[in-house]
Amino acid sequence: MRYAETGFNLEIDLTRGNIERVATDPRDTELYLGGLGTNAKILWDRVPPEIESFSPDNLLIFAAGLLCGTPATGCNRTIVSTISPQTLLMVYSMMGGFWAPELKYAGYDTVIFRGKSPTLVYLWINNDKVEIRDAAHLQGKGAIETAELIKEELKEPKAQVAAIGLAGENRVYYASIEQGRSSASRGGIGAVMGDKGLKAIVVRGTKDVNIARPAEYLELCNEVLEHIKARDGNPIPGVMPILAGLGSPQEMAVHDEKWHTENFMWGNSRTRIRDFWTEEIAKAWMETLESARTRLISCYNCPMKCGATLSLPGLPTYMMKCFSKLTYTLAAYSDLDFGLKIAQRATEYGVDGYSAPQVMAFALELYENGILTDKDFEGMPSDNEGRFYWLLDRIVRREGIGDVLANGTYWAAQEIGNGAESYAHNNIKKHEQLPLKLSMLNPMYFLMYATGEKINITQIEGNFPQAPFPTREEREEFVKDWIQVPDEKFKQYFLDWELRGENSIPYYPTVEMCCEIVDWQEMMHYIDDALGMCAGLSSFPLKPPYHIHNYPKFISSGAGIDMDEAKLTQAAKRYRTLVRAINIRRGMRRKDDKPPEDHWKKRFPELEAELLDKYYKFKGWNNQGIPTRESLHDLGLDYVSKDFIQRGILTDGEDTPSKETSAEKKNEV
């Protein structure tokens, strides 16, 4: 008997219309855990680097994390993986809600799509009955509208639906997959879904998920609930409200405009919001949200209520979570009422709430500077908000200039030329980032931005505070009950971390310390992404209920896998390295590991080079960021090094780059 997982995947060949229920190897679960880990192994095995994102041979994988569907609070994440049309690398995006647990209850851990359907279809999973159904009547429908129409059509109001809107159908490079109260939106996975002719995946399950040692598991779950209650009543002092509690950044519950006014940027991520901010604006934003918000909502089996339902005059009620509350407002130099309204349309279209606003602001910046002309914007309204609605409509339909902008700022700038490249300035690996700019280089965040292959900063940072506490007394108080650290040395790192002047470097005591902290934070995110845990209860907040010490107990008692901290650390390192290997095989090198040039006003190139050198060595990578033969062997990834040697990425008998890779290094800027 399999525990926590079902032991079965669904294999869907959309070209042939073939459906297979395939038993999985439990040894893979021990090595890669599930979720992101097993997704990475599947992509490595079955999608060679020659395969492009819109190829029938590219896979689109929906995985429920290992512990999804169990009583573990907050464990509800679906991990969607494919090859991104935007970055050309492996992309993995999470969505919360109820979809992943429902898949487990239907009897499956993962759904793997290959091929392309000749017509638009949706997949209907109803326990053991699985069928591919015609979706011609849903073409052009909004993502949320599609979900409601399908549930009505099937007479299954409890079914869970993951769907794309018009943006996905038209292969917009930053199209999202929407699932009611959550979405998987980064990297263009919705575009791959649309390219495969797949409008939606609908799931209804009524089976059980087995637990290896139920009494022990439930005791652990109760301990987590007690921790959540204790933290809820005792927020961390000395940090901004958005970081003081648990859960995803609770934008819908907390009016923490200090965070936005100090760090976020207007327009095309260029102008500080603080330069325009007033108390009148802050009051108006608060009143807008209070009047629009009807209730706070949670994902499956979670008390945190990080999202909310919004009702705006003349619009259907919809659900919102996290930063998309702000991104459209900031892009348009507008107010929150506009931001909430256009976000509703964007959700139906199915576009990423980080990329889409910046692409539109980028286009208007090019227009204002004469790089694009009236001819490119024929028919565009003259008012500011109207211009954004007009651009959004053109982008998702790929009409006129919208066809160029639908590929994101990096690729659009390459096509437009004439200096447009300098306006596509907020990308990492061709992917738009949060509209966030800071003053002085932060070494730890430099490493997270540069090397994080989720390419999304809120899914890299986490358990270590973002800034030092002003006094020694405050730091000593913080570490008293800091049980979540993987080693006691991290407490000392924090105790010794003091506020420094604007011009003093390094910002942290040592480069080695930065490497260790970043590695810890990344490891926790990778564990979450394999188990299906919301980062808001583990890898993102300070002092979370899930951490490196109790996770092995959850895996052991829940999944029946003999697990301890050392084995868990090794497993996380294994599949994290495999993600790196997939991207290395697709051409990624050191030259790609860099934050946006203007993310910090004050930069230190020599320190940044040293940070990369030492972090690569710490991770077991060579000077091009390629995992070495030795480190691959230690992780049981000899099949990766064999492939690398055959391709000339590594040379036989040594861990230095091949001649081709060395040439790339010579051409580095």
- pLDDT confidence tier of residue 508, bands split at 50, 70 and 90: low
Task: Give how many domains the chain has, as a whole number.
Answer: 3
pLDDT of 500 above 90: no
User: CATH number, domain at 51?
Assistant: 3.60.9.10
Q: Do residue 185 and residue 38 come from a single domain?
A: yes
Q: Is residue 581 part of a domain?
A: yes
pLDDT of 194 above 80: yes
Contacts of the segment 213-219: beta carbons below 8 A, 24+ positions apart: 213/556, 213/557, 213/558, 213/560, 216/553, 216/557, 217/70, 217/71, 217/72, 217/554, 217/557, 217/558, 218/71
Q: Please, are residues 522 and 460 in contact by the beta-carbon 8 Å criterion?
A: yes
Angle between helix axes 565-585 and 511-531 (nearest 10 degrees) is 90
What residues does 295 pair with on adjacent strands? Answer: 309
The residue whose two tokens read 């490079």 is: 173
The residue whose two tokens read 């091949």 is: 658
Q: Do residue 245 and residue 187 come from a single domain?
A: no
d(CA 79, CA 282): 36
Q: Do residue 408 and residue 476 come from a single domain?
A: no
d(CA 93, CA 525): 12
Q: What is the pLDDT of residue 658?
A: 42
Q: Name the average pLDDT for the chain.
A: 92
CB-count burial class (<10 Å; 0-12, 13-18, 19+) for 646: exposed
Q: Do residue 375 and residue 463 come from a single domain?
A: no
Q: What is the pLDDT of residue 504?
A: 52
Q: Please, are residues 536 and 550 in contact by the beta-carbon 8 Å criterion?
A: no
Q: Is residue 43 part of a domain?
A: yes
pLDDT of 501 above 90: no
> Phi, psi at residue 204, to the nearest 5°?
-140, 125
Q: Is residue 214 part of a domain?
A: no
Least Cα distance to 618 among 529, 481, 518, 536 occurs for: 518
Q: Do residue 622 and residue 545 come from a single domain?
A: yes
Q: Is residue 48 part of a domain?
A: yes
Q: Do residue 449 and residue 409 come from a single domain?
A: no
What does the pLDDT look like over 388-442, one tens digit per residue?
999 999 999 999 999 999 999 999 999 999 999 999 999 999 999 988 888 888 8
d(CA 250, CA 640): 40
Q: Is residue 465 part of a domain?
A: yes
Q: What is the pLDDT of residue 455?
A: 85
Angle between helix axes 279-292 and 336-349 (nearest 10 degrees) is 50
What does the pLDDT look like over 307-337, one tens digit per residue?
999 999 888 888 887 777 889 999 999 999 9
Does the pTM of the predicted model rise above 0.85? Answer: yes
Q: Do residue 404 and residue 464 come from a single domain?
A: no
Q: What is the pLDDT of residue 565?
A: 98
Q: What is the pLDDT of residue 654?
A: 53
Q: What is the pLDDT of residue 649?
A: 98
Q: Is residue 555 part of a domain?
A: yes
Q: What is the mean pLDDT of residues 512-533?
A: 96
> Phi, psi at residue 436, to the nearest 5°?
-135, 125
Q: What is the pLDDT of residue 660?
A: 41
Q: What is the pLDDT of residue 258?
A: 67
Task: Show the domain range for 314.
Answer: 237-417
Asked which of 371, 402, 417 is the last residue of a domain, the reply is: 417
Indicate the DSSP class of residue 94: E
Q: Please, are residues 182 and 102 in contact by the beta-carbon 8 Å criterion?
A: no
- pLDDT confidence tier of residue 243, bands split at 50, 70 and 90: confident
Coil, strand or helix at 600: strand
**Cα-Cα end-to-end distance for the chain:** 55
pLDDT of 503 above 90: no
What does the pLDDT look like over 101-151, one tens digit per residue?
999 999 999 999 999 999 999 999 999 999 999 999 999 999 999 999 999
Q: Please, are residues 594 and 602 in contact by the beta-carbon 8 Å criterion?
A: no
Q: Do residue 196 and residue 118 come from a single domain?
A: yes
- Provide, rounded to the nearest whole percent, the portion of the chain with pLDDT above 70: 95
Q: Do residue 188 and residue 55 come from a single domain?
A: yes
Q: What is the pLDDT of residue 149?
A: 98
Least Cα distance to 423 among 263, 264, 596 occurs for: 596
The residue whose two tokens read 């020599």 is: 606
- Provide, rounded to the nearest whole percent, the portion of the chain with pLDDT above 90: 79
User: CATH number, domain at 403?
Assistant: 1.10.569.10
Q: What is the mean pLDDT of residues 147-168?
A: 98
User: CATH number, domain at 535?
Assistant: 1.10.599
Q: What is the pLDDT of residue 507?
A: 56
Q: Is residue 54 part of a domain?
A: yes
pLDDT of 669 above 60: no
Of the listed ranges 97-111, 226-240, 547-561, the least confidently predicted one is: 226-240
Q: Do residue 149 and residue 71 come from a single domain?
A: yes
Q: What is the pLDDT of residue 659?
A: 41
d(CA 137, CA 548): 48
For the chain, counts of helices (H) and of strands (E):
26, 21
Q: Do residue 28 and residue 169 come from a single domain?
A: yes
pLDDT of 631 above 50: yes
d(CA 588, CA 598): 22
Q: Please, are residues 358 and 186 in contact by the beta-carbon 8 Å criterion?
A: no
What does the pLDDT look like over 181-193, one tens digit per residue?
789 999 999 999 9
> Phi, psi at residue 178, to the nearest 5°?
-105, 145
Q: Do residue 405 and residue 544 come from a single domain?
A: no
What does the pLDDT look like over 637-664, one tens digit per residue?
999 999 999 999 998 765 544 444 333 3
Q: Is residue 49 part of a domain?
A: yes
Q: What is the mean pLDDT of residues 615-634?
A: 98
pLDDT of 667 above 50: no
What does the pLDDT look like over 357-371, one tens digit per residue?
999 999 999 999 999
Q: What is the pLDDT of residue 228?
A: 96
